[in-house]
């Protein structure tokens, strides 16, 4: 991170710490490795010369994490494909996955909060292509509300949760730091192909 704005540095470092992402403060760009990314403010952006930088108008956790995931994948020469996994229930688990990488997981109470969060996620992804995968236990009423709140271009798949539960066990072994059951279920759902929902 490079900035003279102490508040900006504090907010960004807090997000990176909470998401267990390694970082260094105020390292001169000339000393950075080839796969390093400089995070700075929009105002200071032009004054920093480095091949890879993220310039933020305001500090937003989701936008920052999405930008970092995209940079990491571009360093590997991979295209970014987003999948949002949704585990329905009393508490909804949501997981944003970029080409197999968990960007962020969330737990919210009920469908209304899930729809608000989903709207925010989709706004952050902008024009990027994404697919929604929903656990097959969702009620017809909730599925109908979900469909009506999304763009007609959104692709939605219903995932057999018996299949996703096997994947969840595997994912739990691989990602021991993800302890929330709803998020784990959402990750597993995101990683399973489902049956595309045909809109009426």
**Rounded mean pLDDT of the chain?**
81
Query: Is residue 72 situated within a structural domain?
Result: no
Least confident of 65-69, 84-88, 137-141: 65-69
For residue 140, tell me if it sits in a domain: yes
- Please indicate, yes or no, whether residues 49 and 93 belong to a single structural domain of this protein: no
Q: Is residue 75 situated within a structural domain? A: no
Does the structure show a pLDDT above 70 at 178?
A: no
* Last residue of one domain, picked from the residues 15, 44, 59: 59
139-147, Cβ contacts within 8 angstroms, sequence gap of 24 or more: 139/88, 142/88, 142/111, 143/197, 145/111, 145/115, 146/86, 146/111, 146/115, 146/118, 147/197, 147/199
How are the residues of the chain apportioned to helix, strand and coil, as percentages rounded to the nearest 5?
Answer: 40, 20, 35
Domains identified in the chain, total number: 2
Q: Are residues 184 and 128 in the same domain?
A: yes
Residue 195, CA distances (Å) to 131, 134, 156, 157 in order? 12, 10, 8, 5
In a domain, 135, yes or no: yes
Q: Say whether pLDDT at 103 is over 60.
A: yes
**Are 90 and 54 in the same domain?**
no
The pLDDT of residue 127: 60
Considering the domain architecture, whether residues 92 and 141 belong to the same structural domain is answered as yes
Domain carrying residue 138: 82-196
CATH of the domain at 176: 3.30.420.140
Same domain, 113 and 37: no
29 with 126, same domain: the answer is: no
């Amino acid at each position: 991170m490079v900035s003279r704005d102490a508040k900006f540095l504090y907010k960004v470092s807090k997000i990176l710490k909470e998401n267990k992402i390694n970082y260094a403060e105020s390292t001169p760009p000339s000393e950075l490795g080839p796969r390093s990314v400089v995070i700075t403010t929009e105002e200071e952006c032009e004054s920093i010369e480095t091949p890879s930088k993220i310039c933020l108008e305001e500090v937003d956790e989701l936008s920052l994490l999405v930008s970092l995931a995209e940079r990491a994948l571009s360093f590997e020469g991979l295209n970014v494909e987003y999948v949002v996994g949704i585990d329905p229930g009393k508490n909804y688990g949501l997981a944003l996955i970029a080409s197999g990488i968990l960007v962020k997981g969330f737990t919210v109470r009920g469908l209304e909060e899930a729809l608000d969060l989903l709207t925010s996620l989709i706004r952050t992804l902008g024009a990027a292509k994404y697919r929604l995968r929903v656990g097959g236990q969702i009620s017809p009423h909730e599925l109908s509300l979900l469909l009506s709140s999304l763009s007609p271009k959104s692709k939605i798949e219903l995932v057999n949760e018996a299949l996703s539960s096997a994947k969840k066990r595997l994912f739990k072994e691989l990602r021991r730091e993800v302890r929330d059951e709803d998020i784990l279920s959402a990750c597993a759902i995101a990683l399973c192909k489902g049956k595309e929902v045909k809109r009426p």
